[in-house]
Amino acid sequence: MFTSLGVISCYARNRVRRFLVASRARMASSTGLLHSATPPRVPTKHEKCYDPHDPTLKFVDKEDDLDFLYEGFKSLRAQMSCGHAVTPTSLTNWCRRLLDQGESRFVCGGYGCSAEWTFSEVWKMALLTPQETEHFRKKMAVNAALQTLITKSCPVCRSTLTRENGSDLNVLCKKCTAVKGQPFEFCWQCLREWKGARPRKDRCGNDGCCNHSLKTLKTCPNISFDSVKGVHGCPSVRACPTCGLLLEHNKRHCKSLVCPRCKVKFCFVCLKIFTKCMKTSGPYAACSSGVAPRQTSIPVWKKK
């Protein structure tokens, strides 16, 4: 029996869409590109459309390569520099998703594509509003700052390196070592060629090498909470007890913070994991164990 596509039930169409989404996800997963098939969590409420008379855009008659939820945006499709077709709303959703995942660069989400777009291209093709532009710029800056805590560039060859031992400031650059024919080591802290004994976790032998994070923890003023009663002598800056990121409490609301780097919620006063603190205290009450002393070392993030 022949059935026209025009009369397929809504139920059947939804089943087809779910099948297509699942198929694309399985295909991407098998090729290591699962990120390109990850849809935004919620459907779009407001749609943006291209001006059909914009001579700077290259319009194409293709499917929207970034419409992972099959929302069917009404805008014309325009071609990105990598060749994939987008609408301003699907591009905005995808780039926002990247930022929410901690990225500071915009990489195409099309299947099999790893092209990187400039912010100026994203700004133009996504028709970013002034509010979206400000949000994107701030989020990019924050994400880039967090990434510099994990990776740094060799002071000689500028290659990106990650410390194998988070408790040792001495880092070996394999690229420079191969070029020079002898080990080249530099300090993770001051980014100068290594001097002195190794391993060291506080400083190298170079003049002026110091841990500014530890200095901040030592010299920052105390905080007075607006809503938490009975807390005195709490430093205004703490290193996350899980990953070591320095955080400052805004004095408002409860005494907990969620670290933007490791996503762990902890008590700013006693430095315990928040659920553990809540067993003997309340979110707006003094901790039973008192105020944790100023930290004299930076916790090293041990990812599981």
Look at residue 66 in the predicted model and tell me its pLDDT: 92
pLDDT digits (tens, 9 = 90+) for 135-190: 999 889 888 777 666 778 899 998 888 888 877 899 999 999 999 999 999 999 89
Across the strands, what pairs with 176?
none
Q: Calculate mean pLDDT across residues 8-28.
A: 37
For residue 78, what are the CA distances in angstroms to 49, 56, 57, 94, 116?
A: 10, 10, 6, 15, 17
Backbone angles phi, psi at 274, to 5 degrees: -60, -40
Long-range contact pairs involving 269-272 (C-beta distance under 8 Å, separation at least 24): 269/228, 269/231, 269/234, 271/238, 271/241, 271/295, 272/241
pLDDT greater than 70 at residue 263: yes
Look at residue 45 in the predicted model and tell me its pLDDT: 64
For the chain, the average pLDDT equals 82
CA dist 126 and 112 (Å) reads 21
Give 149: exposed, middle or buried? Use CB within 10 Å, 0-12, 13-18, 19+.
middle
Tokens of residue 269, six digits: 């006063």
pLDDT greater than 60 at residue 274: yes
Q: Where are the beta strands (DSSP E) in 83-226?
A: 85-86, 106-107, 116-117, 151-153, 160-162, 170-172, 185-187, 222-223
Confidence of residue 64 (pLDDT cuts 50, 70, 90): very high
pLDDT greater than 60 at residue 55: yes
SS percent in the chain: helix, strand, coil, step 5: 30, 15, 60
Give 285: exposed, middle or buried? Use CB within 10 Å, 0-12, 13-18, 19+.
middle
Q: Where are the beta strands (DSSP E) in the chain?
A: 59-60, 77-79, 85-86, 106-107, 116-117, 151-153, 160-162, 170-172, 185-187, 222-223, 234-235, 237-239, 246-248, 256-258, 265-267
Q: For residue 18, give the H/E element and its range.
A: helix 10-30
Q: Calculate mean pLDDT across residues 186-214.
A: 90
Confidence of residue 27 (pLDDT cuts 50, 70, 90): very low
pLDDT greater than 60 at residue 290: yes
pLDDT greater than 70 at residue 29: no
Look at residue 304 in the predicted model and tell me its pLDDT: 61
Look at residue 44 in the predicted model and tell me its pLDDT: 58
The pTM of this model reads: 0.48
Backbone angles phi, psi at 151, to 5 degrees: -125, 150
Name the percent of the chain lying above pLDDT 90. 53
More confident residue, 38 or 94: 94
User: Which residue in 127, 126, 295, 132 sits closest to 219, CA to CA?
Assistant: 295
Length of the chain measured in residues: 304
CA dist 271 and 282 (Å) reads 14
Q: Calculate mean pLDDT across residues 244-270.
A: 89
pLDDT greater than 60 at residue 241: yes
CA dist 228 and 269 (Å) reads 10
More confident residue, 26 or 224: 224
8-12, 126-130, 188-192: lowest mean pLDDT where? 8-12
Q: Are 292 and 223 in contact (CB under 8 A)?
A: no
Tokens of residue 232, six digits: 């005195």
pLDDT greater than 70 at residue 303: no
Backbone angles phi, psi at 19, to 5 degrees: -65, -40
Across the strands, what pairs with 267?
256
Most confident segment among 22-36, 144-158, 160-174, 223-237: 223-237
Based on its alpha-carbon atoms, the radius of gyration of the chain, rounded to whole angstroms, reads 25
